[in-house]
């Protein structure tokens, strides 16, 4: 619980710590949207946490959708940058390890990100779907499936694989513990922290490379 600053009259505030209001709004919104969902979160709640007036949302972001868009863009930046870096490394081999490591690295540090993406992705009629779909199609699709395709052609991966199905399998097996943590965390007894991230990354790389069956 953040204590609201004692006296905040009208008029232009002192310049110290002023331009951070926008950033506080974005981070409070990421927190609330990812926990409660976009529609169920009120701007009043976000503004309260950011120690700011609800009118500031219109001031900075036009409207509630604009605030969500700012959150989404920030998250996509994180994701695209990490994946691009992981796949662009010149070294051969270990493609699965690099991809899984990069992806889990980002979402282990920012669990709000996959939660917001999934919600946004589920909502059929949101105009922001276009924004996401366009950025995803432009920045991720030319990167990941072709990299998998090359690894398949090179025999690093099984030659009977469908790259598109494989991308979805990898993302799905990485993301579920982070999306479901609010329910499954208490039930299965885990918390999202660096230790869990390391353990789950090792588990996932082994599963993706060799599968689950024993007696190899």
Partner DNA sequence: TGTACATCAGTGAACGCGCGTTCACTGATGTAC
Distance CA 162, CA 121 (A): 23
Give CA separation, 63 vs 60, 69, 141, 149, 212, in Å: 8, 10, 30, 42, 48
Q: Is 204 exposed, middle or buried (0-12, 13-18, 19+ CB in 10 A)?
A: buried
Q: Where does residue 94 fall: left (phi above 0), alpha (psi -120 to 50 degrees), or beta otherwise?
A: left
Does 186 sit near a second copy (CB under 8 A)?
yes
Does 26 sit near DNA (CB under 7 A)?
no
Per-residue mark of binding to DNA, 82-121 (x: CB under 7 A): ----------------------------------------
Does 142 sit near a second copy (CB under 8 A)?
no
Does 63 sit near DNA (CB under 7 A)?
yes
Distance CA 93, CA 95 (A): 5
The one segment of 56-64, 92-100, 149-157, 180-188 that binds DNA by CB under 7 A: 56-64
Residue nearer to a second copy on the CB measure, 91 or 165: 165
Binding site for DNA (CB under 7 A): 8-15, 18-19, 21-22, 41-45, 52-59, 63-65
């Amino acid at each position: 619980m953040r204590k609201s600053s004692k006296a905040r009259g009208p008029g232009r505030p002192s310049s110290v710590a002023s331009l951070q209001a926008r950033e506080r709004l974005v981070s409070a919104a990421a927190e609330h949207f990812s926990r409660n969902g976009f529609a169920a979160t009120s701007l009043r709640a976000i503004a309260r946490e950011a120690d700011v007036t609800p009118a500031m949302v219109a001031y900075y972001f036009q409207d509630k959708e604009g605030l969500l868009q700012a959150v989404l863009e920030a998250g996509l930046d994180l994701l695209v940058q990490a994946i691009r870096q992981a796949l662009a490394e010149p070294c051969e081999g270990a493609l699965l390890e690099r991809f899984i490591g990069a992806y889990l690295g980002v979402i282990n540090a920012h669990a709000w990100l996959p939660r917001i993406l999934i919600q946004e992705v589920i909502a059929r009629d949101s105009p922001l779907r276009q924004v996401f779909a366009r950025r995803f199609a432009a920045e991720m699709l030319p990167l990941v499936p072709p990299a998998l395709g090359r690894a398949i052609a090179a025999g690093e991966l099984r030659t009977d694989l469908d790259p598109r199905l494989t991308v979805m399998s990898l993302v799905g097996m990485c993301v579920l513990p982070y999306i479901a943590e609010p329910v499954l965390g208490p039930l299965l007894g885990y918390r999202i922290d660096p230790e869990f991230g390391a353990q789950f990354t090792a588990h996932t790389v082994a599963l993706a490379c060799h599968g689950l069956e024993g007696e190899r």
